[in-house]
Chains A and B, each alone.
Chain A
Amino acid sequence: SQTIHQWPATLVQPVGSPLSLECTVEGTSNPNLYWYRQAAGRGLQLLFYSVGIGQISSEVPQNLSASRPQDRQFILSSKKLLLSDSGFYLCALRQGENSPLHFGNGTRLTVT
């Protein structure tokens, strides 16, 4: 079965520091991978998605970036965090056209 690993579960970082959140998946090959951010009262905002290695589509102009160095690895990064980057970051995968998203457990990021 498909499994999504996200780490760390929680992270506290100062403003201006770099960020790297990693998502790896198991039990699937060539999935579509997604990064969402969940904020209270704002639902889930799609940040990036990837349909294959090295292919990244950006949905929001932020100081965030994403990379997919391997088929089952999706990384969310920032060179300098802002206070507004605080939130709950979710990695998700979709395997196949007519299939729903499956979500990881998420990373709670607090920028201080």
Chain B
Amino acid sequence: AQSVSQHNHHVILSEAASLELGCNYSYGGTVNLFWYVQYPGQHLQLLLKYFSGDPLVKGIKGFEAEFIKSKFSFNLRKPSVQWSDTAEYFCAAKGGGGNKLTFGTGTQLKVEL
């Protein structure tokens, strides 16, 4: 069955620390990958996406993610986090040509001043 795993459920960092959130998926064939973010009190919004091409994807607010096909991973990174990055982050995947987007369980990130 198609699934998405996020192994870090809660992450606490100090401002300026580097961030890496893990995401692994289990899909056969072509896969489309996404990271969504939900800031406190706000709705889910797209952070970045990968469909094809360069496996290193740049998103908004300095975030990036790298698609490593051999590891079935799509980890989210940011070199230096800010307090305003405190939010819940969701990794999601969809089989190429498919209609169903499967989400991971989310990672709560808290950035302390």
Question: Which residues of A come within 8 Å of B, CB atoms?
Answer: 32, 34, 36, 41-46, 49, 51, 57, 59, 90, 94, 97-98, 100-106
| A residues in contact with B104, CB < 8 Å | 43
| A residues in contact with B44, CB < 8 Å | 44, 90, 103
Q: Is the CB of A49 within 8 A of B100?
A: yes
Kindly name the residue among B32, B97, B103 whose own CB sees the greatest number of chain A CB atoms within 10 A.
B103
B38 to chain A, nearest CB (A): 9
Q: Is the CB of B102 within 8 A of A46?
A: yes
| A residues in contact with B36, CB < 8 Å | 101, 103
Q: Is the CB of B105 within 8 A of A51?
A: no
Question: Which residues of B come within 8 Å of A, CB atoms?
Answer: 6, 9, 32, 34, 36, 43-46, 49, 51, 90, 92, 97, 99-106
Q: Is the CB of A97 within 8 A of B97?
A: yes
A42 and B102 contact, Cβ closer than 8 Å, known pairs A98-B51, A100-B34, A103-B43 = no
Q: How would you classify the secondary structure of chain A's contact residues: helix, strand, loop or mixed?
A: strand
Closest Cβ neighbor of A43 among chain B residues? B105
| B residues in contact with A46, CB < 8 Å | 100-103
Q: Is the CB of B101 within 8 A of A34?
A: yes
Kindly name the residue among B44, B97, B106 whose own CB sees the greatest number of chain A CB atoms within 10 A.
B44
Q: A46-B103, A49-B100, A101-B46 are in contact. List 13 more A-B contacts (CB 8 A).
A: A43-B6, A43-B103, A43-B104, A49-B99, A51-B99, A57-B99, A59-B100, A98-B32, A98-B51, A100-B34, A100-B49, A103-B43, A105-B43
Complex Cα distance, B99 from A98, in Å, reads 11
